[in-house]
Each structure stands twice: as C-alpha cells, then as structure tokens.
Structure 1
C-alpha cells in the first residue's frame, strides 16, 4: 500500500450560499482585460485582443469577509472586482452554446494584484506569477448556485467595488468583450477543465490601490455582495492611512 511521505495539504474550498456544503477548488483561471474601458486604462487596444488567461493557485481563494492580509514584497496592492464562475463539470473544446451548462454557480471576487511587481515583470518580459498568484490573492463571496442568481446574469448586471464607502469601480457584465460562455469555451481550448475550476472573468475600469485598514465592499447585482478589511503590512500594526487615489472609474 502506497502512502504519502507527509500529509497532503488541505483541499482548498469555497462556501456555497444557503448550504453547509463546500465547493472544492481546483484551478483558478483569470481573464485579462475583458472590459474595453479597463483594457484602455491599462494601455491596450480592446478591439484587437482575443481572451488571454493567467492563473492563481487554488489556495489563493479565501472568504471576502473579516480581514484579508496585506501581502509581502509590495508597496502597490491593487483591487480588481470580477464576476467569478464556478464549474460543476469540465471538458475540452467546449462549444460556447453549451458552456453555461457546465456552470455550478457564480460569485463575486477580487483579483488582488501586486501592481509594482507586475510592472517589473512586464518591463523585464517575465511571468506575472509573483504579482498575481500570492496567498489570499483571490478573496471572494460565497458561491450562489446558478439556479438562484438573477435571470440577467451572466449576460448583464451591475458590478461595483467601493473603498471606505467611495465607489471606485462600476460597470455592467454586458460590457464584457468576451461574454462568460465564450470565456469558458476559450479556456477549454487551452486546458481540460474540471469540476471545481473557478474562472475570474475580468474587471471594469477604475482599478486602484489599497492600504492597510481600508474597508472594501462590492458586488454584482443579482449575485452577491462582500465586505472585508485590508490587514496590516506584515510585521506592522494598523495606523493612520492615506486617502486612496483611484486610477479611473
């Protein structure tokens, strides 16, 4: 009988709204620049770019409540609010027309980014992993089963994020360059998808910085809302914080 050389890590999971059950998380795939206004604020041309993906480890998913830790190695932590899709079954080369049949439910997440490290990676033509895939970099609401979300989702619905009560991001799911079904189909051509995969579907304009002590709220109408506080810098205590300056939205 074969055994592990040490106990395997705990299975990453996300809470399901209205249930005591948990959804086991496998991969977290994220779509870059999927709203035209955000693509422009990041210096890209949204009319020419097909969907592209980056990944976060499954354990990056944490509850978007209580305190979310401020990561190490950055002076520029930034938020990006997104609709999150949770899959109940996977496959390869999924057709767009069939893609929504693979969805278990939806949540609202924040793609936290060490923006200074991302810029360094871009300047050096290096991967983004350290900027995007750190611990607790994907706080998210509970997953709401697809049968319980507003009938407009995922084709439309207000998406928003506020910091300390001031709205920073506000858009509509209808503004996605690549809608959810097309995103799932595109991802399935690059990977064999599986139950428990999460897909962050992109963010509207208005991304900006967070500092310790900031209270972050947000949501997608017809899906869920969240609220969390940014924790202190590693080794530091919470203290007076400067007013956040947002880059758009």
Structure 2
C-alpha cells in the first residue's frame, strides 16, 4: 500500500490531473469574473472561490482520468492517456468539463450572482436563493435608476428559498447602507428588521426593503445603495447593490 502511495506512476497521475485541473479552473474563474466584473467581491472571497474551483477541477480531472482508463481498458487500449486523443476530442472534453465545473460552483447550492441589465442591480446570494430581483417605485418596476429627490423606491428579492426553519418560523435581518461618490456612508442601518424579523415559514415568499431619499442627498448626484438580507437562524445571505442618480422632483 505504501509503495503505491509513493510510486512514480501515482505522482505522475496527480501531477497531470492537477495541471489540467488548474488550467481549466483558471479559465473558468477568469471567464466568470470578466462576465460579472461589476459584482463586488473582496480579495478573500475571490481567493477562496479560486481555491475551491481549483480543488473541484482537480477532483473532476482525477475522476475523468480514471473513467478514461477504464473505458480504454474496456475497448482494448494498451495504455490510458488523454493527451494521445485527437485535439478536437480533447478540447471538446475540456470545454464540457469546464461548463460542468462552472455549474458546480454556481448552481444547485443556493449560491450565485446576477446583474439586471436595465438598472445595474447586482445580486449575490449564498445559502439563500432568490429567483428574481427588481426595483419598484410607485407600483411600477423600474428600468432605470433616476430617483426624484424625496421619493422612495423598494428593492425586492422574490422567490426566496433556503431560510432556516425553527418551530415553523424563519427569522430575517435587513441592513441598508447608502454611500456617496466618495464612498462615505450617509446612511447606515444595521438591521431594519430588528423589531419584526420573525415570520411564519409559509409567509415569506419575498424580501423587500424601502429606500427613502432626501437630505443630505443632492440632485444630479449618484449614490450607492447596498441592501443585505440574512438568515438569523442560519448563515445564508443575499447582498444587493445598485447605483442610483438623484434628480430634481418633476
């Protein structure tokens, strides 16, 4: 058993699968970050995501190489080697594995992100999922971010799933931070639901936060709005970020 663990063949297998997995993971990670470049991620979050992507891709490549070996043995091949396959087949396999890796990282685990192309609203969720996110003002869904001074708008995450249930109830928190163009917070509320964050498990189909505008906001200025919902019974959260422009009242 010890000889197998330290054999050159095993070392070669681990090295080859790691390099192929690293190649695939870096491409997938770079592609996702370029595609969603406006989504705010910290350096620590990006680092952990990259590490998990590399480890996942290494595992996928290891399983694939073993499967490839068994397949070639079944058809009478003399030795397994992915690199001996034709270039077209090899690249097609890598693409399919990359897509599978991306799906593993962003789907099926209530973890992902999205960006609304009309408002720029970015949504990042982990542990709690949302099917749709939107901005609503005066009963209408917005397709812009021009907000009259003194008006209010509502940020809604619809189709909520994944909240932890205790005694047929769920508990949710909601924070709101508004920043100016210099990044200074002009409003910060750590938990808008502090006094009423307990709900019946069947009543929470969506989460919403109303955002009021007014002093010290100024017309023709842009402001960053960040709304975070989190599961007080668990670890899940949904982070919403959008940049709005304050205009004079019509």
Which bin holds the TM-score, normalised by the shorter protein? under 0.3
Quick one: higher RCO (CA 8 Å, sep 6+), 1 or 2? Answer: 1
TM-score (norm 2): 0.24
Q: Which has the larger radius of gyration?
A: 2
- Give the helix-richer structure, 1 or 2: 2
TM-score (norm 1): 0.24
